[in-house]
Amino acid sequence: MKLLSREQIEDLAKFKSEKYFTTSFFLDTKKRRQTKKEILLAVKNLTNKAKSILQDLGSEKAVKESALEDLAQIQTYCSRHLGSYGNSGLALFSCSGENFWQVLFLPNSPRSRIVFDKNPYVRPLSAILTEYTRICHLVIDRKEAKWYDVYMGEIFLIDSLTGNIPSQIKEGGFLGYDSKRIERHNTSQLHEYFKKADQKTFALFKKNRFDWFLLSGKDELLPDLTNMLHPYLIERLKGRARVSPGDSPSKILEKTLEIKRQLIIQEKEKLVESFLAELQKGGLSVAGLTLTLQKLNRGEVQTLLVTRHYSTPGRSCPNCRSLCEDEKICPTCQNKTEKVVDIIDQAIESAMDKNSRVKHINPPSGLQGVGDIGAILRYKS
Ligand SMILES: [Zn+2]
């Protein structure tokens, strides 16, 4: 099953075993970065590492056996399916003791890992979903209006409306009286049509909570329709494409994705720019691992910026979960800290726990010049 919605994550999170571990397995399967052989080797290394962790956990026999069975099933699944696997990531959740098994195909790569816990470990799934923008694209002409939902690279027609408003005033009547009347009638028909279009869009917004709204149609129609839109829709209005309601969904998808790519680049450029500007004037940003982790520990981070796929080791406190670069003693609670292989991964999780936004910035960017990690702060302390 493909990961497409929050509901799937919520459903998965409901599973809990009182007795056994649930094994959560995440795998980066992007073939552009690695060969099939390397991916399978990663599976082997992960499961071996998980086995030794399981030994250290010292759980009772039945619990251990269930988890070992999970690992065996994961290995079997991977060796059978990875050869022809086309998605960027894979997530498997297993609790053999309770006969629980779930497969999720991921549109983006997670960090490869295995986690044992009572529940399925779903945070990486939420992280993937927050990277996706839901777009509502309304394509309209005088004849009809069509609403498309574009999400995770797929398009669905979600609503439509018939207008059938004559495009031109026909020459008719005497002394221009009729043509004026027809024009007035035509304008009020168009007004009604736009009003319905606005209401439908707003209803769809309430239902689907799209992030961006695109409105496409002829120049002569758009200004009047835009003027009638609800302020919430205006706030989300991000652009238009050269398409009409008669175009195929695949053409509309292609044009929507073009706009989306541009918007994402612009949005991230703007974010990095304002982050760097704040940094320069000593305002509401910090850069570099040490400072960013400090701010993160104190819950002061509004937006965490990380160069995509940047990874480095660090330390974390098992007692208060503070993160640090290399302090052996936790600066918050004076406990001994432990080494972690990837402190960036932990920083991203901690940010999500504290309701901070996380933005992965594609290199090259100005973020690389200041340590590949930084934060925009909620307030100045
Ligand atoms: Zn601590």
* 253-297: pLDDT as tens digits: 999 999 998 998 898 999 999 999 999 999 999 999 999 999 999
Highest mean pLDDT among 55-64, 133-142, 347-356 belongs to: 133-142
Measure the CA–CA gap between 361 and 265, rounded to whole angstroms: 9
What the block records as the tokens of 273 is 């720019």
**How far, in Å, from the CA of 106 to the mean position of ligand 1?**
34
Spatial neighbors of 146 by CB under 8 A, at least 6 apart, are: 138, 139, 140, 157, 159, 160, 245
What the block records as the tokens of 148 is 């498309």
pLDDT more than 70, % of the chain: 97
**How far, in Å, from the CA of 52 to the mean position of ligand 1?**
26
What pLDDT, on a 0 to 100 scale, did the predictor assign at position 350? 86
More confident residue, 141 or 58: 141
Mean pLDDT rounded to a whole number for the chain = 91
Measure the CA–CA gap between 44 and 52, rounded to whole angstroms: 13
What phi, psi does 201 have (nearest 5°)?
Answer: -65, -40
**How far, in Å, from the CA of 350 to the mean position of ligand 1?**
14
**How far, in Å, from the CA of 226 to the mean position of ligand 1?**
53
- Whole-angstrom CA distances from 197 to 8, 114, 366 are 31, 48, 42
Q: Is pLDDT above 80 for 54? A: yes
Q: Quick one: pLDDT band at residue 357, thresholds 50, 70, 90?
A: confident
**How far, in Å, from the CA of 117 to the mean position of ligand 1?**
22
Q: Quick one: pLDDT band at residue 33, thresholds 50, 70, 90?
A: confident
Measure the CA–CA gap between 311 and 291, rounded to whole angstroms: 16
Q: What is the 3-state secondary structure (H, E, C) of 266-289?
A: HHHHHHHHHHHHHHHCCCCEEECH
Q: Which domains, ranges and CATH numbers included, belong to the chain?
A: 6-125 (3.30.960.10), 135-265 (3.30.420.60), 284-377 (3.30.1330.30)
Spatial neighbors of 184 by CB under 8 A, at least 6 apart, are: none
**How far, in Å, from the CA of 94 to the mean position of ligand 1?**
32
- Whole-angstrom CA distances from 364 to 64, 272, 275, 361 are 45, 11, 15, 8
What pLDDT, on a 0 to 100 scale, did the predictor assign at position 167? 73
Q: Quick one: pLDDT band at residue 176, thresholds 50, 70, 90?
A: low
When pLDDT is averaged across residues 90-109 and rounded to a whole number, the result is 95
For β-strands 237-239 and 212-217, DSSP reports them as: parallel
What pLDDT, on a 0 to 100 scale, did the predictor assign at position 173? 52
Q: Which DSSP letter does residue 371 get? A: T
More confident residue, 16 or 169: 16
Q: Is pLDDT above 60 for 174? A: no
Closest CA to 119 of 94, 90, 96: 94
**How far, in Å, from the CA of 327 to the mean position of ligand 1?**
11
**How far, in Å, from the CA of 341 to the mean position of ligand 1?**
18
Report how far Cα 169 is from the mean position of its chain's Cα atoms. 48
**How far, in Å, from the CA of 333 to the mean position of ligand 1?**
4
Q: Quick one: pLDDT band at residue 177, thresholds 50, 70, 90?
A: low
**How far, in Å, from the CA of 297 to the mean position of ligand 1?**
10
183-211 per-position pLDDT tens digit: 777 888 999 999 999 999 999 999 988 99
